[in-house]
Chains A and B, each alone.
Chain A
Amino acid sequence: MDELTLLQNYLVVGAILFSLGLVGVLTRRNMIVMFLAVEMMLQGVSISLVAWSRFHNDWGGQILVIFTLTVAACQAAIALVLVLMLFHRSGRLDIAAWQHLREASHSAFVDQELPEAEVEEPHWPELTPAGVTPESPVEDLVHRTHV
């Protein structure tokens, strides 16, 4: 009964992979990582299909996986272009930047306010003062052309 055992083991591995992908889609906020997790769910299903194909000695499962692969390639192309476009608009890969997306007649559903991006204080080099202080008009000292 080795075939049956192998099928059961493969189905469990496929189920685990599918569930892990689900957790990834639900939790991660980076759009690219979310998409990776979707691909992982597809892989889980593919494993089950291949196992069934071997068990029934039928090509249907493997051929379905080939078509899944084709559709996954198309999906990757379109999704990555869309992700790039969203990135160009919002400047970040964060999916939470789009939670205000809605119909004009509806009120916005904001799940969680965006935390402010941490802007690190730039570390300027400190120069040791040397020589005599040059004399300069007060206007020049107060006015700074750039920060």
Chain B
Amino acid sequence: MTPAQTILLVATGLGALGLWLLLPRGDQWGRRLGVIPALISLGLFASRLPRLESMAAETVFWFLAGVTVISATCAITFRSPVYCAIWFAMTLLGTAGLFLFQGAQFLGVATIVVYAGAILVTFLFVLMLAQPQGHAFYDRVSWEALISASVGAVMIGILTMVIGDAFSRQEGAEGVPAKAGVVDRVAGEDGPQRPDEILSPRHMDHLGAQLFSRHLIAIEIAGTLLLAALVGAVAIAIQSKSMSRSTGGSAPWTS
């Protein structure tokens, strides 16, 4: 076992322990303690990643990635669903930042507008409708916290290892044409030069042109899907309303 694999193994174990401690398990014991192993595990995973060349880019990336991952952990571990939704909004902001960092300007803004602005507010509306008193007993217990936390940590470990292996193999085989991405990038030198489209200042022009020429049918289908979902949601809501009126409110086991 190489030292790299040992580090990943330790990180996986600590991650499982931290997640298990953080998840709501019915009692409060050691919940705050779980922050320490979770953070150490995150640091170990981060230590496995290669460094970026520019210092500023590195700082921005680690800040955004840290915000995203830490608030995602908070979103699944907090007991009150309202806090979960708010931490998820934080995750979305971090994701939007990551999108912007990769030059996906439209997606960064669309994530904030569509997800944080529309979907999340709908979540909060439903929460307010359904659970106005806040805490409920089923928010304080979770299914099989230990097994699920282990599964999640092992999955993170395996994916990190596989991605790292694949990239180190690519870097080892420098110059071999197996490097699909780099070949794609360099291929323009003998063929027609392909400009760096993603990072060009006319981002929206290119994206819109692609979207409404090559993917026109998909756009139409997406529009139809949105309409169908709208009609379906309204139909289900009306049906449930008439049903709850005819049965006199709610089911017998309602508290």
B76 and A33 contact, CB distance less than 8 A: yes
A57 and B251 contact, CB distance less than 8 A: no
A87: B residues at CB distance < 8 A: 130
Which among B111, B138, B160, B164 is the interface contact of A30 at CB below 8 angstroms? B138
Contact with A along B129-147 (1 / 0, CB 8 A): 1110000111101111100
Q: Is B123 an interface residue (CB 8 A)?
A: yes
Known: A8-B163, A21-B76, A23-B149. A66 touches B107 (CB 8 A): yes
B199: A residues at CB distance < 8 A: 54
Q: Is B33 an interface residue (CB 8 A)?
A: no
A24: B residues at CB distance < 8 A: 75-76
A86 to chain B minimum Cβ distance, whole angstroms, is: 9
Which among A46, A59, A76 is the interface contact of B122 at CB below 8 angstroms? A76
Nearest residue, chain A, Cβ from B78: A33
A39 and B251 contact, CB distance less than 8 A: no
B127: A residues at CB distance < 8 A: 32
Nearest residue, chain A, Cβ from B254: A91
A64 to chain B minimum Cβ distance, whole angstroms, is: 9
List the interface of chain A (C-beta within 8 A of B): 1-13, 15-24, 26-30, 32-33, 35-37, 39-40, 43, 46-47, 50-51, 53-59, 62-63, 65-67, 69-78, 80-85, 87-94, 96-97, 111-112, 115, 117-119
The interface size of chain B toward A, counting residues with CB under 8 Å, comes to 103
A57 and B196 contact, CB distance less than 8 A: yes
A56: B residues at CB distance < 8 A: 181, 184-185
B136: A residues at CB distance < 8 A: 30, 92-94
Nearest residue, chain A, Cβ from B88: A36
A110 to chain B minimum Cβ distance, whole angstroms, is: 13
Which among B111, B143, B145, B237 is the interface contact of A81 at CB below 8 angstroms? B237
A73 and B53 contact, CB distance less than 8 A: no
Known: A59-B197, A93-B136. A23 touches B236 (CB 8 A): no
